[in-house]
Chain A
């Protein structure tokens, strides 16, 4: 996860060696997201200039990818696996319960930005189905009750300043 205690390097620095027609965009998007936690809007015109294209084209590319964020992530992200093995083992029930406890839908964060829900695809850890990934670490197999307790705990913990 992003280390928020450090100030990220300047965007210009992260974009320094970009060249058009060099398969650089995805790499730099990952680099920016690793540093900032998301791709800030001010990166778009800079990217367009470096890659000799228009901001609209860059925005179009960025918005195409579900793993590139255009907003800062919540402090904790619960990534819910939408895959088939998880579904067969009750992930849909788990999703509804998580949404109800947190009061948000997928791709949303609680008002205080404490917890976010994110839909992810199967990464082949289906032996743990149904699972969620908590800041990237798989947790499973989870019962619905366990998922509810997890969400309540995260919400409650963050509630105190």
Chain B
């Protein structure tokens, strides 16, 4: 068996070929988001182009920088040390890229260049770090390898300091490892939503009497709009694995599971490979790095259930049962998987651990705020110009992400609300855009910072409609155990639906409050938090509810029970609009077109094709 030092030396040789490539190296970022826009085809086109031209170049697969908006991305590194990232390199653009970037030693394809991976401009290309999306990220710690290394190479991870934390930990008493992570040390707390101190949870497991003990990684990432765990697993899988092994060592766990949601097949692939590689190098399995400590783990692939992200639901699911959250006590640390002591952490939580062990608690807490040390990853989506994933210190104002990184809402639109932490996380009025990203300020506003999803909402959206969606989600995903949650979410959806359809009653607002009150008694946080967005919004957006209920109007003209499509005017697009209509609702009389309201399902397709002639009007408009 090799020692860590030997593994590192071997890995550094492999990495050397990336750092100072002997010939050009073309690396394509292949991840879920880049595949969605054709990264596989780009990779294939590059391979063909390289062989067609007989170029002496290497082609590699890397992960994701977090710049979803710029995918597919390609990095070209040259022997002279220049490394340039190109954006939106679809397969058709590959010949142009290769021609311009590789025909001469200092060639650059200016049209597609996004940034240079260096602090200074290279060949007229600005440094990557100067992009708005990157500039807000003072220090990428968890994402330090994302986009940089080949996620399918354990050597790349090791060469950049990977598994050094584990090797250190194995030479420390368990107690000291716990201290490093604890509030006295780094102050790490869970990133899965509940913000519970990690070391305290680990102590419960360590102190549990029964054997074996299980260490579980929660990669269910069920919050729609959250994709931070996915980015880590696809771009730097070993960080999570190393963190879990260290956790197992500190607590005496001997086996583990990583629970990955069904929607993430590429994560499963890369994590499986990473586990195999770690086992081959003696970093997982019997007597890790010759220490005498043994731990192994496997992947469990979910099958589409949100409550399987709740830790006891996850445990039920691993136990081959319906993935229903359990009633506590007993807590997982006493009786978890197969009634054995179990610890569940989010995978981002684990990814922090190797860094703490490697650089020390003091380094770790040098960024963030007094109460919340370190950094957090966030995924940005919705009404913004740049969708992506980034990492910032706790305490960073939301504004820097929404406007700085993401470029704010599209032209002509203004920010209306921010939706943090998934459908249960609540909804905040745009007035809160200067809130600091850490749990307490969000909690004070009655919302949850959650696990990292931030959905940005502009003034084209209807708050009632969005809340109806959040509540529908909670209803759809309720496991059904508690009548408070099962019935409460159903009633709430009914009420919101009737409000959206113009049948709302003035008493409905109080009824929603009453239901939310009862739902606090649900068994798990799913039912308890299900009313959050509704409760936030009946405070912050009460007039919008009133307008729906009393005015029978949807101010954003979204709720389809309150709007009507009408043809007023002429347009050359009308014949096409009539043809696209899925219900043949557009009738032609001589030169005129009209919409048969009994047939119209208000899909808006006609308006896309004849915007000058088709208008959305209030269905119950009184005189104006």
Q: Taking beta carbons and an 8 Å cutoff, which residues of A are in contact with B?
A: 20-21, 23-27, 29-30, 51, 53, 57, 60-61, 64-68, 82-85, 87-88, 90, 92-94, 96-97, 100-101, 120-129, 131, 138, 140, 143-145, 148-149
Contact B320 A25 (CB under 8 A): yes
A-B contact pairs, 26 of them (CB 8 A): A26-B317, A26-B320, A27-B301, A60-B322, A61-B322, A64-B479, A66-B305, A67-B303, A82-B473, A84-B225, A84-B419, A84-B455, A85-B381, A88-B466, A93-B560, A93-B603, A96-B602, A100-B601, A101-B582, A121-B222, A123-B263, A127-B33, A129-B381, A145-B609, A148-B580, A148-B605
Residues of the A chain whose Cβ atoms lie less than 8 Å from the Cβ of B466: 84, 87-88
Least CB distance, A55 to chain B, in whole angstroms: 13
Query: Is B262 engaged at the interface, CB distance under 8 Å to the other chain?
Result: yes
- Shortest CB-to-CB span from B422 to chain A, Å, is 9
**Docked pose: A123 CA to B234 CA in angstroms:** 13
Closest to A20 in B: B320
* Min C-beta distance of B597 to chain A, whole Å: 15
Contact pick for A57, options B36, B321, B383, B419, CB 8 Å: B321
B211 to chain A: closest CB distance in Å? 15
Q: Are A96 and B469 in contact (CB under 8 A)?
A: no
Decide: A64 and B32 in contact? CB cutoff 8 A.
Answer: no
Residues in B lying within 8 Å of A, measured CB to CB: 32-33, 36-37, 68-69, 71, 222, 224-227, 230, 257, 262-264, 298, 300-306, 317-324, 337-338, 379, 381-383, 387-388, 419, 423, 455, 457, 460-461, 465-466, 469, 473, 479, 560, 580, 582-583, 601-605, 608-609
Q: Which residue of B lies closest to A81 (CB)?
A: B224
- Nearest CB in chain B to that of A66: its residue: B304
- A65 x B305 contact (CB < 8 A): yes
Best-surrounded residue of B69, B263, B582, B604 (most CB of chain A within 10 A):
B582
Contact A84 B320 (CB under 8 A): no
> Are B226 and A68 in contact, with the CB atoms below 8 A?
no
Which residues from chain B contact A24 at a C-beta distance below 8 Å?
320
Q: A85: which B residues are within 8 A, CB to CB?
A: 225, 381-382, 387, 455
CB closest residue in chain A, given B389: A124
Alpha-carbon separation in the docked complex, A23 to B227 (Å): 25
Kindly identify which residue among A82, A93, A127 contacts B68, using a CB–CB cutoff of 8 Å. A127
The listed residue (A61, A67, A122) touching B224 by CB distance below 8 A is A122
Closest B residue to A58 using CB positions:
B320
Is there contact, CB below 8 Å, between B263 and A23?
Answer: no
Residue of A nearest to B321 (CB): A61
Please measure, in the bound complex, the distance between the C-alpha atom of A151 and the C-alpha atom of B554, giving whole angstroms: 30
Q: Please tell me if the beta carbons of A21 and B319 are within 8 angstroms of each other in the complex.
A: yes
A64, closest chain B residue (CB): B322
Q: How far is the CA of A55 from the CA of B419 in the complex (A)?
A: 42
Residues of A within 8 A of B69 (CB): 127
User: If A23-B298, A68-B303, A138-B36 touch, does A88 touch B603 (CB 8 Å cutoff)?
Assistant: no
Asked if A88 and B383 sit within 8 Å, CB to CB, the answer is yes
- Which among B36, B306, B338, B601 is the interface contact of A125 at CB below 8 angstroms? B36
Within the complex, the shortest CB–CB distance from B605 to chain A, in Å, comes to 4
Contact A145 B469, beta carbon cutoff 8 Å:
no
Contacting pair A26 B303 (CB below 8 A): yes
**Pairwise interchain contact B387-A126, C-beta atoms closer than 8 A:** yes
Contact partners of B461 in chain A: CB under 8 A: 88
Which residue from A20, A23, A65, A120 sits with its C-beta under 8 Å from B303?
Answer: A65
Asked whether B257 lies within 8 Å of A125 as measured between CB atoms, the reply is: no
B301 neighbours in A (Cβ, 8 Å): 26-27, 30
- Chain A residue at minimum C-beta to C-beta distance from B603: A97
